[in-house]
Amino acid sequence: MKKTAVLGIGNILLRDDGIGVRVVQELQVKGSLPHVDLVDGGTSTLDMLELFLTNERVIVVDSLSGGHPPGTVYRLKPEQLGNYTGSEISLHDTQILDLVRLAGLMEKNPEVIIIGIEPKEIKESLGLSPEVVTMLPRLIDLVEKEAVA
């Protein structure tokens, strides 16, 4: 199995923006990935360069505005972000692309998979929207499968 990290990013104070962090928290409680680094990246995405330098595979979980109905789940590679987000690319996604580029400059090229979910609302609130909560088990399942592939 490849050395793998799951990086959940987002702001838990901004409703659906916190989905990546929530997925990592659920995986930590579940304990289903004992050989995988589960990392709460919060909003400090650029501080996560070390993960891209020390892992063969990085699975990033985040909200992703792709113009589809709330709760839509995406699986893509960093180079596909422009196809899904157009002008709605988030700061997190831009930073992930920067991390991939920086790692490449340091001759590290981990496989990066982005698992995203279309948010309904990004506003001040601790809870996830019902559309995103409904998809939480699917996101966790998808991340677990990606982590052991």
Q: Where in the chain are the domains?
A: 4-148
What is the average per-residue pLDDT within 72-88? Answer: 72
Within 13 Å and on the Cβ side, how many CA atoms surround 72? Answer: 11
The CA-based dihedral angle spanning residues 70, 74, 79, 85, taken in that order and rounded to the nearest 10 degrees: -10
pLDDT at 92: 54
Structure tokens at 70: 């709330």
**Tokens 């088990």 belong to residue:** 137
pLDDT of 86 higher than 70? no
Least confident interval from 2-11, 76-85, 121-130:
76-85
57 strand-pairing partners: 4, 111
pLDDT at 83: 55
Structure tokens at 133: 């909560």
- What is the pTM (predicted TM-score) of this model? 0.90
What is the average per-residue pLDDT within 117-144? Answer: 95
H or E segment to which residue 28 belongs: helix 19-30
Task: Specify the fold of 4-148.
Answer: Rossmann fold (3.40.50)
